[in-house]
Structure 1
Amino acid sequence: MSRIAPLTKPYPEAFAAAMTALMRGAEPLVLFTTLARHERAWSKFSAGSLLDRNSPLSLRQREIVIDRTTAKCGCEYEWGVHVAGFAARAGLDDAQIAATVRSDARDMVWSADEQALVGTVDALLDRKKLTDAEWARLRDHFDEAQSLEIIQLVAFYHGVALICGALDLPLETNAARFPPATEEGQLP
């Protein structure tokens, strides 16, 4: 059980309406119902979302950044939600899904632009900055708006991972689980 009890039905009207639109008939995530216990926490969290249709990134690019960020942060909760909800639509195969958890940017499952995504996530989470060379590599593949979106995704989902870990959220029953470790696997 989460350290803060999630909302239970009947949900407040505004939250129920938001969940109807967002979840498309599925039950709200524990993360959402837990944050919604406090209107300010929920409104600030939901206002920071980058999952709208106006993203300068493709669904695949966005999900690689989110999956890598949450995996590198050890957040099986959010990684599993995104893999279950978006990996197939994003065209991520089993090897690529596993690589978000168990590999690095040099893995040959990634194209050159995807290697730049994974490398950017790793640099930001490891050192909290990009070197000039890392920035140049990112910009070789992504324009300014896309680059900012990538950085914001890493920051937002790093925060999501901290929230999930601090609240000790139980894993969603229909979410994916981290792949088993291999001899060379180093994450999470």
Structure 2
Amino acid sequence: MPLNSKQPRIAPLVPPYDDEAGAALEQLGHAPIQLFRVWARRPELARGVAAWGRYYFSKHAALTVRQRELVIDRTTALCGADYEWGVHIAAFAEKAGLTADQVASLAHGGPDDPCWDAADRALLRAVDELHTTYDLSDPTWTAATDAIGEDAVLDLVMVCGWYHAVSFAVRALRLPPEPGTSPIG
């Protein structure tokens, strides 16, 4: 089946949901997008994802909304995860203060593009290095911790890894774009 197939490999649940799936979707705390409705087929999986997401989308995370979205958007772009890219750009790009040039750079540019400040560059270099080497060199670690702090770098590593997993899932599931979203382009 081609990657851009209109049919997902695992059909998302459709309403009406049984009590357990409905409760799992409610715990996710978001509109029941396709990915969440696939996870809700296994409510215990959905509950685990919800717990993880509550932390990383809370005020307790060390990354700011902007930093979190830079990590997620860059990771999903590097992974070619059109579905997740589209969801995050539609839902969070404006909240994160991303300009059109920055969105384009996340999709097809790099940390050295003129639209980024020094802190954004350090963060994006860390994401790019994690993606290509599965590690952070000492200079990249130092630059990132100098720019955003040690706690935020720990969150960056975890969010980047999580969105690699999410990217794998949405690609392998062949989820078509959500209404009102656009692919990486």
- The secondary structure found in structure 1 opposite 2:94 is helix
| Alignment of structure 1 residues 96-107 onto 2, 5 Å | 96-107=102-113
Unaligned runs of at least 5 residues, structure 1: 180-188
- The secondary structure found in structure 2 opposite 1:48 is helix
- The aligned residue for residue 185 of structure 1 is none
- The aligned residue for residue 184 of structure 1 is none
1:147 maps to 2:153: yes
Q: Which amino acid counterpart does residue 108 of structure 2 have in structure 1? A: R
- The aligned residue for residue 133 of structure 1 is 139
Identity of aligned residues (%): 38
Distance 1:108 1:131, change over 3 A: same
Alignment RMSD, CA only? 1.6
Separation in structure 2 between the aligned mates of residue 6 and residue 133 of structure 1, nearest angstrom:
43
Q: Which amino acid counterpart does residue 80 of structure 1 have in structure 2? A: G
- The aligned residue for residue 33 of structure 2 is 29
Separation in structure 1 between the aligned mates of residue 63 and residue 78 of structure 2, nearest angstrom:
21
Aligned length: 176
- The aligned residue for residue 175 of structure 1 is 181
| Alignment of structure 1 residues 1-188 onto 2, 5 Å | 1-17=7-23, 19-20=25-26, 22-23=29-30, 26=31, 28-49=32-53, 50-179=56-185
CA-to-aligned-CA distance 1:100-135 (integer Å, 9 cap, x gap): 111011111111000011101100010000111111
Deviation at 1:57, TM superposition (A): 1.5
Distance 1:73 1:117, change over 3 A: same
Scaled by the length of structure 1, the TM-score of the pair is: 0.87
Separation in structure 2 between the aligned mates of residue 118 and residue 51 of structure 1, nearest angstrom:
19
Separation in structure 1 between the aligned mates of residue 160 and residue 154 of structure 2, nearest angstrom:
10
Separation in structure 1 between the aligned mates of residue 148 and residue 156 of structure 2, nearest angstrom:
9
CA-to-aligned-CA distance 1:21-60 (integer Å, 9 cap, x gap): 722xx4x110000111112332233233222232212111
Q: Which amino acid counterpart does residue 165 of structure 2 have in structure 1? A: G
Q: Which amino acid counterpart does residue 41 of structure 1 have in structure 2? A: L
Decide whether the 8 Å contact of 1:71 with 1:79 is kept in 2: yes
Separation in structure 2 between the aligned mates of residue 142 and residue 90 of structure 1, nearest angstrom:
16
Scaled by the length of structure 2, the TM-score of the pair is: 0.89
Distance 1:176 1:34, change over 3 A: same
